[in-house]
Structure 1
Amino acid sequence: MTMTTHQPTGPASAAPEPPVRPGEGRTLRPIPAEAHAAFQRVGRACPVSFLQTPAWARVKQGWRAEHLGWFDGRQCLVGTALVLYRQLPGVRRSFAYLPEGPCVDWADPRLDGWLEPLLGHLRGTGAFAVRMGPPLAYRRWTAATLKGAAGPGRRIGDVLPDLVEPLGAAVADRLRDAGWHRCGEDGQGGDAQPRLVFEVPLAGRSRDDLWTGLNQEWRRNVKKAARAGVRTGTEGPEALPAFHALLRVTELRDGFDLGRGLDYYRRQYAALNAERPGAVRLYTARHEGELLAAHTLVTAPDGQRVWYLTGASADHRREVRPSNALQWRMLCDAQASGAAVYDMRGVPDDLDPASRAYGLLRWKLGTGGEAVETVGEWELPLQGAVNKALHRGMHAYLTRR
């Protein structure tokens, strides 16, 4: 099934069709992808994930995409959403998904003024349920806290956080009061996007600050890579086949399978860069000309956040520490670009030093950043018992896939 993108004609400020539903002076209606992308390039109070960009809709095959915009009383665009629809086999109803979105004013005490127009629109499309992921932090743990808490059977959730984010906590309470269910809490499927991520703060820090923030082992490994002659840099799409081959080596070694072919990464690279040149870059580390590590880096539309998205490394010559050298290069480039956060994406919550999962967490802890639990993904059946049954069927279908 090929995804189609809904792109009405006409400028974003025009109103060729009536608004879907009013909410606290705001209206919601479909907007062109171009207007959606332009809105995201300007700094907003709400962070914008790359998963909410129009370009991401062109990456996700098998989903139908729609771009929505909230307008104030003066018809100014004040919020956006990328909605992905997946049709359940054998029925005409769809599951609506807003990955790490929508982009609205989550601090507004009248949150229903944003969400009710959205729910009304989704019901009108025939969607039987909706899932969204507010792009907000909930709890934070520093690297020092988690290192000190490691032990047999321990998990991050067992540790008192260093900070509870008031906004994230408030939004979670408001969603629960409105009937939304946090994914994974009711025995249904868990989050599609990582709820626990790892971030390295960059705002107000110099390169020297980043260097001293690394632990001793990381600094030693970065120096070792430099002495061994490891060369880091960026390469174009011609290097994607080598990156993908290295990714398969990584998957076999570490016991996971992303299930994504080379065409997926080519489509991701082309779509994101077509919308914003340089939005995704392929970083490589070579030793004596041989590719030993390759990582993808994605930049937010407003440049304030970068994501280390997918990493691959070889099984051999690990003693020259190519991955440490590559991450250090990416951190430095992100800091030089003016980004405020370097997001290393998901980490396991396992603090047991004897577990294999702890190795990945320990590697990221060495950067001196912090583990961040997001508000997570939330779901709501849209109407009736029949839709609840379809909702359960969609969970089973997506789990099998």
Structure 2
Amino acid sequence: MTSLYVREITREEHLAHLRRSPDVSHLQIPEWGGVKPDWLPESIGWFEGEPTGGATGDVMVAAALVLYRPMPGTRRYLAYLPDGPAIDWRAPRLERWLDPLVAHLERIGAFSVRIGPPLVVRHWDPATVAAGLADPGVRHLRELPPAGIDGYALDAAERLRRLGWRPCEEDDDSGDGSGYSSGFGLGQPRYGCHIPLAGRSEDDLRDALAPHWEQALRTSESADITVSWVSDYDLPEFHRLYTATAAHDGFKARPLDYFQRMWQALNAEDDDRLRLYVAEYENEVLSGALMINVGSRAWHSYPASGRRGRQLRPSSALLWRMLCDALASGAETYDLRSITPALTGDRLVGRLHFKTGAGGRAVEYLGEWERPVGSQGRMLQRALGVYLGRR
């Protein structure tokens, strides 16, 4: 079996690879590096052969985006590959892919590596989730029978453990439980929601709506809610709704310039990477959301709504229009992003009800994993945890 090595690649090389293999997360395209100014981005590639002074003739078989965050007061970095890398996770020898990655990151100065294997371990059909929500005795998705379990993903988890990786949700062993990821804004959701689009028609999608969702959509249609695909000129109005949503749901809102930077970065190479949709009633914007398009997937991101006009169900009209547009553009999956796995006692249960009612299946990812690098890796992980615990 041919060995692999990892080296830095140019943005153009990365984009060329994505044109051949486009189905990666939007967090793994080179444009995403421009969205995160506090991180240092690097595009890397896996090549078959042996590194010989930066050979250019070897074949690139995979690519990834790495985000580096410096450890305060040092020249060492935390290296993060969100929703990645997009390698052959079903390969019998994961070390063939991961060891060259760690070796490259160690040369750069990483003291810790964090990855997010893009693998779904379990999924649950919408009807199963609805039954769980209606049963007060069921408190968590894991208590429901899954519609499918991916044995390859479970096997990947065991192989990661044998190679020295550990799940990030496990407590760190610094003794104080402070961890370190939250201070860097890390962490992709462990549970998500997907609406399959491949091979389906708009009528199929409508027939799959839960009764409460169909009624909400009819309400918005009767009220003549208008949904439009708009431009970055409307980002300030969207941000107004987004900050209201943040205040209501209790999370910290990102500033307007974050979304303006996202628009510029993601649409730099392809002006259809990022779309903004708004739902209006009598010329007043009531709801909005972003759609990110990469390969065969569309992501429903940063949904926002105000308190006015909720009885008209503008969010249902908004999602339905975006879902139909994604279907028409050839997307095979509509990703509704994060959900809570808790079926009772969680303030986000309403979102779970909304997303699965739209026909989304609940999914559990393999989660994020980390590994210390070098002789000082574990010590620096602990030091960073202490530092952030005092901030």
TM-score normalised by length of structure 1: 0.89
TM superposition shift of 1:396: 5.0
Evaluate the alpha carbon distance shift between residue 374 and residue 189 of structure 1 in structure 2; reply closer, same or farther with a 3 A threshold: farther
Aligned pair partner of 1:40 in 18, 21, 26:
18
Which residue number corresponds to residue 384 of structure 2?
A: 394
Q: Per-residue deviation at 1:244?
A: 0.6
Q: Distance in 1 between matches of 2:384 and 2:130?
A: 39
Q: How far, CA to CA, are the matches of 1:377 and 1:41 in structure 2?
A: 26
The answer to whether the Cα contact below 8 Å between 1:95 and 1:394 also exists between their aligned partners in 2 is no
Displacement after TM superposition at 1:397 (Å): 5.2
Q: 1:380 aligns with which of 363, 371, 383?
A: 371
Q: Give the aligned partner of residue 121 of structure 1.
A: 104
Alignment partner of 1:154 is 2:139:
yes
> 1:167 is matched with which residue: 126, 132, 152?
152
Residues 135 and 400 of structure 1, relative CA distance in 2, 3 Å threshold: farther
Q: Secondary structure at the match of 2:268?
A: helix
Unpaired segments ≥5 residues, structure 2: 50-56, 173-178
AA matched with 2:104: H
Counterpart Cα distance in 2 of 1:114 and 1:398: 31
Which residue pairs with 1:91 in the alignment? 74
Contact 1:183 1:189 in 2 (8 A): no
Matched, 1:218 2:194: no
1:239 counterpart = 2:234: yes
- Per-residue CA deviations over 1:50-76 (Å, capped at 9, x if unaligned) read 001111001101111111111224612
Amino acid at match of 1:160: P
Larger displacement relative to structure 2 (386-395 or 244-253): 386-395
Distance 1:79 1:306 in 2: 22
> Are residues 1:342 and 2:318 paired?
no
| Contact in 2 for aligned 1:197/1:347 (Cα 8 Å) | yes
Query: Which residue of the partner structure matches residue 297 of structure 1?
Result: 291
Hey, what's the Cα distance between the residues in 2 that align with 1:97 and 1:189?
Answer: 13
TM-fit CA distance, 1:109: 1.3
State the match for 1:321 in structure 2.
313
Alignment partner for residue 70 of structure 1, among 19, 35, 46? 46
Structure-1 separation of matches of 2:180 and 2:118: 19
Against the structure 1 CA distance between its residues 39 and 294, is the aligned structure 2 distance closer, same or farther, given a 3 Å change threshold? Answer: same
* Distance in 2 between residues matched to 1:36 and 1:107, nearest whole Å: 23
**Letter paired with 2:371:** L
Change (3 A) 1:98 1:400: farther
* Amino acid aligned to 1:391: Q
Residue number among 349, 355, 360 corresponding to 1:364 in the alignment: 355
**Distance between the aligned counterparts of 1:229 and 1:395, measured in 2?**
52
Secondary structure of the 1:65 match is strand
Q: Which residue pairs with 1:201 in the alignment?
A: 196
Aligned partner letter, 2:10 = P
Alignment of 1:279-294 (within 5 A): 279-294=273-288
Aligned-partner SS, 1:41: helix
Structure 2 contact 32–265 (Cα < 8 Å) conserved:
yes
Any idea what the Cα deviations from partners look like across 1:58-109, whole Å, max 9, x if unmatched? 1101111111111224612110111111001112211110111112121221
One-letter identity of the residue aligned with 2:314? P
TM-score normalised by L of structure 2: 0.91
Q: 2: CA distance between counterparts of 1:198 and 1:305?
A: 13
User: Which residue of 2 is the match for residue 131 of structure 1?
Assistant: 114
Aligned-partner Cα distance in 1 for 2:212–2:130: 14
Q: Distance in 2 between matches of 1:265 and 1:397?
A: 29
Cα distance in 2, alignment partners of residues 307 and 398 from structure 1: 31
Amino acid at match of 2:110: A
Pick closer, same or farther for the CA change 1:328–1:398 going to 2, 3 Å: farther
TM-fit CA distance, 1:189: 5.8
Select 2:88's aligned residue among 84, 101, 105: 105
Letter of the structure 2 residue corresponding to residue 324 of structure 1:
S
Give structure 1 stretches of 5+ with no counterpart: 1-22
CA distance in 2: counterparts of 1:373 and 1:89, whole angstroms: 34
How many Å separate the matches in 2 of 1:310 and 1:400? 30
Matched residues, number: 372
| Cα drift, residue 393 of structure 1 | 3.1
1:317 positional shift: 1.0
Deviation at 1:399, TM superposition (A): 6.8
Check 1:355–1:194 CA distance in 2 against 1; reply closer, same or farther (3 A cut).
Answer: closer
Deviations 1:326-370 (A, max 9, x none): 000011011111111100000011111x54221111111101221
Once the two structures are superposed, residues 28-62 of structure 1 have per-residue CA deviations (whole angstroms, 9 ceiling, x without a partner) of: 21110111022112346xx4000011110011011
Q: Structure 2 counterpart of 1:236, which letter?
A: S
Q: Which moved more, 1:148-157 or 1:62-71?
A: 148-157
Deviation at 1:389, TM superposition (A): 2.1
Tell me by how many angstroms 1:271 deviates. 0.4
Task: Give, in angstroms, the shift of residue 157 of structure 1.
Answer: 2.4
Deviation at 1:400, TM superposition (A): 7.4
The SS at the match of 1:199 is: strand
Residue type of the partner of 1:339?
Answer: A
Is the Cα contact below 8 Å between 2:180 and 2:384 reproduced in 1?
Answer: no
1:172: how far off? 1.1
Aligned partners of 2:41 and 2:386: how far apart in 1?
A: 22
Q: Does 1:82 align with 2:65?
A: yes
Instruction: Say which of 252, 257, 262 aligns to 1:257.
Output: 252
For the residues of structure 1 that align with 2:385 and 2:147, how far apart are their CA atoms?
34
Alignment check: 8 A CA contact 2:5 2:47 kept? yes
- The alpha-carbon deviation at position 26 of structure 1 amounts to 2.2
The amino acid of 1:254's aligned partner reads D
Report the Cα offset of residue 160 of structure 1: 3.1
Matches of 1:396 and 1:139 in 2, distance apart? 35
**1:240–1:76 CA distance, 2 compared to 1 (3 A):** same
